[in-house]
C-alpha cells in the first residue's frame, strides 16, 4: 500500500489539497509506515521554515494617491504614446499636404498677417505731427515755395522736400539752421501789391490746405513717423493754386518775382494738381525704430477734427473756470521738462514743469533798485566818536511820522564842556517799498496771473502747492496777501535794525539834555 | 459562477447597495457603467494582497509599488473586458504574477549584460537586509536559489496560503503541475538547507 503513496501526495496532504479518498489513503499509510511519517515531518519542517521566513512588507501610505495620479496621466494617451511620434509626423505631413493643395497661398497669407500685426503695432495712436507745430499761413506758403515745413513750434526741426540728382523726391527732417524766418508770405503779398481783399483770398487759399497737410505727417509715442508721399502733390497743388490766383491779379509782376517754373499755371493744370492731391491716397511710409515700411493707413481726419473740437471745448470750459486764456499758452516738450510759453508776454516769461517743480523764468525783466534816501552816517559817526569821550547826558524823543512818511529824529547831548543836537531823518522804508512796487507794472500784471515765490537767488518759481491745483487759481489773492504781509514784516525788521543802529550810534554821543534823562 | 448568479439576483431584486458595496462584481459593473470612482474601492480592497504577492514573488521591497501600480493600471484599462466568468481576484492575481514574471525575465536578461561585480553587490545588499535574523536570511537565500517556476507556487502556498486551484489559475497552469512544483520546491529547499540544518534547528 505504501508504494502507492508518493512524496508528492504527501506534500499535497500536508497542504490539505488531497481529495477525501487520497487523504484517507495517506492517513492509513502513515499509521503503518514510520518512513512515511519521517518524510512528512521533514516536509512539515520545510513548510514551517518557509512560512517563518516570511518578512512583512512595509505599508505604502501613498500607494492609492500615486496610482490615481498615474492613472490620470496614463488613462487615454497611453495607447497613443508608443505611436505618438509616428502618428504626429504623418498627421502633420497629411495636414500640410491637404492645406497646400487646397490653399496654395497659405504661407503668403501667414507672412502677410504677420506684417499686418507689426504694422498694427506701429500705426497705433498716430496723430498729426504738424498739429503740434500749429502751422500758420506763412508756414504753408514756405512749404509750397521753399518746400520746408516746421515740425515743432520752436522751429528747431524742419521737414524738407527735395530732389536728389536723379530727380527723385525725398523727405528730410533736419535741424533748422537759422531761426529767423523771413516773412516770405508778407514779402510776396507786398511784391504782388495785393489789396486787402486779395490778401485775404491768398490767406484763404493757404488755410484751405492746412488740415490736409497736417494729416500727411503723423507721429505716435512709439517713435513712428508716418509720411504720406502725397505731400508732394499737395506741394504742387498749393503752388499751382497760389500762382493761378496771383497770375489772375497781376501776371507781369508774378512772372518777375517767381522763377519761371512757377508762372504758367492754367486752370486745368491747377485742377489736375489739386485733384491728384485730394485723391484718397492712404499709402503712408512708416519710419520706425527698427524698420521702414509702407502700408495703407486710414487717418480719420474728420474724427480727429471732432476730437480736437471737443478738446478745445473742454479746454475753454476749464479756461472759464481758471479765468485764463489758454489759447495763448502752448506746450512744448523738452527732454525733461514741459515748457509753457505765454505768448502775451512775448517770451518774457517761461514756465518749466518737471516732476519736482514748476519754474517761471523771467527774461528781460529788471527789478528796479529801491530809491531810499538815507542820512549820512559817516559824519554822524565822526561826531559820535569825538563826543563819546566826555559824554555827560543824552536825550531824544520819538517823533511822529510826517506826511511824506519820514521821521525826524532829534538827538541832544551834553558833554563836560559843550552841548549839541543831531537831527537824523529816517525815511519810512515800508511806504517807499510799497510805492515802488506799484510802479512795477510788469510785476503787477504777472502776479495777477501766477502765484509765485522767490528763491534765495531772487528768481521767481512755482512750487507744486501753488501751481499744481491752484494755477493760477482762486486763492491767488490770499497768497498775494500773504506775500505782502511777509514783505511788510521783512520791512519792519529792516526798519528796526536800522533804528537800533542809529540808537547805538546816538547813545555814544555827548548830548545836551532837553528832556530829563540823566546819565 | 455561483458568485455571479448571486450578484445578478441581488441586482434584480434591488437589494440596497450597502450590501453589495464591497462586492467586486458590483464595483466592476458600476465602473463599467461609468462610475469610475468605484475603481478606488477596488484598489483599496485589493492593494495589500497585490503588494504582498509582488513582494513574495520578487523577493525585494524596491519594486513592489512600481509593479503593483502597473498591475492596477492594467486592470483599469482592461476592466471593461472583464467577463464575470471567474472571480475578480483570480484575474487580478494572474495579472500580478504575470507582471512579476515579466520583471523577473527582464531582470534575468539584464543580468546577462551586467558585470559580475554588480551581481556580487546585489547579493551583499540582499544579505545585509536580512542581517538581524540569521535563520530567516539563510532560508530566504535558499528560496531565492529556487527556479521561479518552483519558487512562486511554493511561496503562494506557504506564505500567502492560496489553494492549489488559486495558484494554478494565477500562474496559468494545471493543478497537478502546481502540486508537483510545490513538492519539488520543498525537495530543493531541503537539499539547499541541508548544510544549515544545525542553525535552523537551534
Residues B140-164: pLDDT tens digits?
Answer: 888 988 998 899 999 999 998 899 9
Quote the CA–CA distance of A67 and A70 in Å, as a whole number: 5
> Cβ contacts (< 8 Å) between B73 and chain A: which residues?
67, 70-71, 74
Say which residue the cell 516732476 belongs to: A355
Enumerate residues 6+ apart whose C-beta is below 8 A from A392.
A414, A415, A416, A510, A519
What does the CA dihedral B57, B60, B65, B70 come to, rounded to 10 degrees?
-40
Phi, psi of A32 (to 5 degrees): -95, -30
SS3 category, A151? coil
SS3 category, B157? helix
pTM of the model: 0.39
Instruction: Give me the DSSP letters along B32-76.
Output: HTT-TTHHHHHHHHHHHHHHHHHHHHHSSSTTHHHHHHHHHHHHH
Question: Among the residues of A227-350, which ranges form H helices?
Answer: 231-257, 260-263, 267-278, 301-322
**Neighbouring C-beta atoms of residue B182, cutoff 10 Å:** 27
Quote the CA–CA distance of B141 and B134 in Å, as a whole number: 10
What's the grid cell of residue A13? 496532504
Residues A266-325: pLDDT tens digits?
Answer: 667 667 767 776 666 666 766 665 556 666 666 666 666 676 666 666 655 554 544 443
Q: How far are the Cα atoms of A7, A39, A40, A325, B164 from residue A18, in angstroms, in the given order?
A: 13, 17, 14, 118, 10
What's the grid cell of residue A367? 527789478
Mean pLDDT by 10 residues, chain A (519 residues): 73 91 90 90 90 84 85 62 70 74 65 60 62 69 78 63 64 60 77 83 82 73 68 78 79 71 62 69 65 64 67 58 41 40 45 49 52 66 74 72 71 76 71 62 55 49 44 58 79 82 67 44
Complex prediction ipTM: 0.79
Residues in chain B whose Cβ is within 8 Å of chain A: 39-40, 43-44, 47, 51-52, 55-56, 61, 64-65, 68-69, 72-73, 76-77, 130, 135-136, 139-140, 143, 154-155, 157-159, 163-164, 179-180, 182-183, 186-187, 189-190, 193, 200
> Cβ contacts (< 8 Å) between A67 and chain B: which residues?
43, 69, 72-73
> Cβ contacts (< 8 Å) between B135 and chain A: which residues?
52-53
Amino acid at each position: 500500500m505504501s508504494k502507492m503513496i508518493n512524496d508528492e501526495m504527501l506534500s499535497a496532504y500536508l497542504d490539505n489539497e488531497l481529495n477525501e479518498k487520497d487523504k484517507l489513503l495517506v492517513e492509513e499509510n502513515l499509521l503503518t509506515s514510520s518512513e512515511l511519517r519521517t518524510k512528512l515531518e521533514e516536509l512539515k519542517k520545510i513548510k514551517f521554515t518557509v512560512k517563518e521566513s516570511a518578512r512583512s512588507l512595509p505599508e505604502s501610505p501613498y500607494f492609492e494617491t500615486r496610482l490615481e495620479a498615474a492613472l490620470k496621466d496614463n488613462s487615454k494617451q497611453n495607447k497613443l504614446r508608443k505611436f505618438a511620434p509616428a502618428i504626429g509626423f504623418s498627421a502633420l505631413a497629411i495636414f500640410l499636404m491637404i492645406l497646400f493643395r487646397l490653399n496654395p497661398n497659405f504661407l503668403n497669407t501667414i507672412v502677410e498677417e504677420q506684417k499686418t500685426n507689426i504694422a498694427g503695432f506701429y500705426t497705433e495712436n498716430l496723430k498729426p505731427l504738424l498739429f503740434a507745430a500749429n502751422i500758420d499761413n506763412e508756414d504753408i506758403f514756405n512749404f509750397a515755395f521753399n518746400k520746408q515745413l516746421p515740425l515743432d513750434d520752436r522751429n528747431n526741426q524742419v521737414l524738407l522736400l527735395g530732389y536728389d540728382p536723379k530727380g527723385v523726391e525725398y523727405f528730410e527732417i533736419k535741424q533748422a539752421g537759422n531761426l529767423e524766418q523771413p516773412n516770405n508770405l508778407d514779402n510776396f503779398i507786398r511784391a504782388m501789391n495785393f489789396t486787402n481783399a486779395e490778401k485775404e483770398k491768398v490767406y484763404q487759399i493757404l488755410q484751405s490746405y492746412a488740415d490736409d497737410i497736417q494729416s500727411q505727417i503723423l507721429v505716435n509715442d512709439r517713435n513712428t513717423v508716418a509720411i504720406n508721399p502725397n505731400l508732394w502733390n499737395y506741394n504742387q497743388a498749393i503752388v499751382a493754386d497760389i500762382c493761378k490766383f496771383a497770375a489772375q491779379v497781376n501776371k507781369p509782376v508774378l512772372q518777375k518775382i517767381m522763377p519761371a517754373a512757377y508762372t504758367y499755371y492754367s486752370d486745368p493744370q491747377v485742377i489736375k494738381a489739386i485733384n491728384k492731391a485730394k485723391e484718397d491716397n492712404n499709402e503712408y511710409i512708416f519710419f520706425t525704430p527698427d524698420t521702414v515700411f509702407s502700408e495703407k493707413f486710414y487717418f480719420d481726419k474728420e474724427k480727429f477734427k471732432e476730437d480736437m473740437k471737443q478738446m478745445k471745448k473742454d479746454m475753454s470750459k476749464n479756461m472759464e473756470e481758471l479765468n485764463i486764456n489758454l489759447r495763448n499758452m502752448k506746450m512744448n516738450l523738452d527732454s525733461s521738462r514741459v515748457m509753457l510759453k505765454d505768448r502775451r508776454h512775448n517770451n518774457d516769461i517761461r514756465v518749466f514743469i518737471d516732476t519736482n517743480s514748476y519754474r517761471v523764468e523771467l527774461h528781460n525783466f529788471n527789478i528796479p533798485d529801491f530809491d531810499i534816501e538815507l542820512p549820512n552816517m559817516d559824519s554822524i559817526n565822526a561826531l559820535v566818536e569825538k563826543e563819546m569821550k566826555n559824554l555827560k547826558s543824552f536825550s531824544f524823543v520819538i517823533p511822529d511820522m510826517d506826511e511824506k512818511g519820514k521821521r525826524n529824529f532829534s538827538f541832544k547831548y551834553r558833554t563836560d564842556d559843550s552841548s549839541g543836537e543831531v537831527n537824523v531823518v529816517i525815511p519810512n522804508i515800508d511806504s517807499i517799498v510799497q510805492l515802488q512796487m506799484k510802479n512795477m507794472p510788469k510785476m503787477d500784471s504777472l502776479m495777477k496771473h501766477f502765484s509765485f515765490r522767490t528763491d534765495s537767488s531772487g528768481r521767481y518759481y512755482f512750487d507744486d502747492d501753488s501751481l499744481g491745483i491752484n494755477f493760477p487759481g482762486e486763492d491767488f489773492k490770499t497768497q498775494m496777501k500773504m506775500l505782502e504781509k511777509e514783505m511788510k514784516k521783512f520791512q519792519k525788521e529792516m526798519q528796526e535794525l536800522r533804528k537800533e543802529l542809529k540808537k547805538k550810534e546816538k547813545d555814544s554821543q555827548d548830548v545836551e539834555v532837553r528832556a530829563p534823562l540823566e546819565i | 459562477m455561483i458568485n455571479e448568479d448571486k450578484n445578478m439576483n441581488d441586482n434584480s431584486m434591488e437589494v440596497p447597495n450597502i450590501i453589495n458595496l464591497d462586492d467586486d462584481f458590483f464595483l466592476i459593473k458600476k465602473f463599467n457603467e461609468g462610475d469610475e470612482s468605484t475603481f478606488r474601492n477596488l484598489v483599496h480592497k485589493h492593494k495589500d494582497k497585490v503588494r504582498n504577492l509582488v513582494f513574495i514573488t520578487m523577493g525585494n521591497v524596491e519594486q513592489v509599488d512600481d509593479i503593483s501600480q502597473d498591475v492596477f493600471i492594467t486592470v483599469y484599462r482592461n476592466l471593461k473586458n472583464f467577463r464575470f466568468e471567474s472571480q475578480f481576484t483570480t484575474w487580478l492575481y494572474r495579472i500580478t504574477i504575470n507582471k512579476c514574471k515579466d520583471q523577473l525575465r527582464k531582470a534575468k536578461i539584464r543580468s546577462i549584460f551586467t558585470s559580475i561585480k554588480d551581481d556580487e553587490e546585489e547579493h551583499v545588499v540582499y544579505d545585509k537586509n536580512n542581517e538581524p535574523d540569521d535563520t530567516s536570511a539563510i532560508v530566504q537565500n535558499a528560496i531565492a536559489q529556487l527556479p521561479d517556476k518552483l519558487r512562486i507556487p511554493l511561496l503562494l502556498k506557504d506564505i500567502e496560503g492560496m489553494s492549489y486551484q488559486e495558484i494554478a489559475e494565477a500562474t496559468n497552469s494545471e493543478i497537478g503541475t502546481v502540486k508537483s512544483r510545490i513538492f519539488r520546491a520543498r525537495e530543493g529547499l531541503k537539499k539547499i538547507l541541508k548544510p544549515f540544518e544545525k542553525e535552523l534547528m537551534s
